[in-house]
Amino acid sequence: MYRIRFGFFLLLVLIVTGLCSGQGTTTGKFFIVGMGTAPDLITIRAVNTIARADILLAEEGAIPSMWSKFAAGKEVWQYPHSLRKFYGAKPESLASPAERAEAEELAKIRRDLTAKITAAVKAGKTVANLQSGDPMMYGMTLFLELLPADIPTEIVPGVGAFQAASAALKRSPPYGYDTNAVILTMDDWPGRIDTNEKLMATGSSMVFYTMNLDYPRLFRSLKRHYAADTPVAVVCDAGDPVRERVIRSTVSRFLAEIDYKSLPVNRHILFVGKFLEVGQKRKDFTPRVTETENMHKN
């Protein structure tokens, strides 16, 4: 009888301890899910994550136009494409009244959305933010900075534009005749210290994500650092089996022969480098003899 009473007492202590420590509560999770650059480039992990999600979150119009089949029976939230605009800036520091108003409105949207995600996760819901390509390349990872530290989060990587476009070109950008590196960048932003002009000085192969890219300014810089016949390629809709296309040119001819203003907005990526033609071939070289070696020979 004593053993039964002691066992019951021990069980009661464990139950109470578990409740007090929060072990009996249900917590959901927030996911950022890379959706790849085409419908059939989504990963198995992404599919499984979306399947168990209660709420799907994405930019306005993205789910209906691209991922509607995943939305059946799920709650869908949307946010504006410009959500990250003015992120980190103090609205009162902006000189333009219109910009101040926009910055304040976007800051409010971010606060409200963060509060909604937090409440949903704490209520045991799984929220999946769907993002095109791979979210770690200029994606919307700001959600991880805005959410409270105690909210469980995870990123599911996806097939990004760099990988899909490289496959379309059938060339590996790090191999470039006499180079073995590739620089991934975008148009210059105010306040950035690693300007494209500085990056071009290395002579490495370059890949430009083309959001708001100023093509004339970019090619003026490229002509200062790369030979006129350096190959250039634009890949549109990388990875899409129907729409994908590759447009080729050179540093000197690009602006004259390519209608860059008609390229699909946010759906093309620009490559510059000798790798586009030579593939993995290495440049023959003669080992450099140092002064120390010369002294030993003499």
281 backbone dihedrals φ, ψ, rounded to 5°: -65, 140
Three-class SS state of 55: strand
First CA to last CA across the chain, in angstroms? 99
Which residues does 174 contact at the CB level (< 8 Å), separation at least 6? 180, 181, 182, 205, 275
Q: How far out from the chain centre does Cα 227 lie? A: 30
Do 139 and 130 touch, CB atoms closer than 8 A? no
Query: Please, which residues have CB within 8 angstroms of residue 274's CB and are 6 or more apart in sequence?
Result: 176, 177, 178, 179, 205, 230, 231
User: pLDDT 10s per residue in the chain (298 long)?
Assistant: 545 554 445 444 444 444 444 444 568 999 999 999 999 999 999 999 999 999 999 999 999 999 999 999 999 999 999 999 889 888 988 889 999 999 999 999 999 999 999 999 999 999 999 999 999 999 999 999 999 999 999 999 999 999 999 999 999 999 888 888 999 999 998 788 999 999 999 999 999 999 989 999 999 999 999 999 999 999 999 999 999 999 999 999 999 999 999 999 989 999 999 999 987 777 765 665 544 444 444 4
Q: What is the pLDDT of residue 189?
A: 84
Q: Which residues pair with 246 in a beta bridge?
A: 235
Rounded Cα distance, 190 and 174, in Å = 28
- Alpha carbon distances (Å) from 265 to 107, 139, 200: 25, 16, 24
Domains (range + CATH), the chain: 25-159 (3.40.1010.10), 162-278 (3.30.950.10)
Q: What span, in angstroms and rounded, lies between the C-alpha atoms of 213 and 185?
A: 11
Place of tokens 């004259």: 256
- Record the tokens describing residue 146, joined without a space: 């805005």
Question: To which H or E segment does residue 231 belong?
Answer: strand 231-236
Measure the CA–CA gap between 291 and 293, rounded to whole angstroms.
5
Q: Which helix (H) or strand (E) is 161 found in, with range?
A: helix 161-169
Nearest Cα neighbor of 231 from 208, 254, 211, 200 is 254
Distance CA 144, CA 136 (A): 12
CA 109, 110, 113, 114 torsion: positive or negative? negative
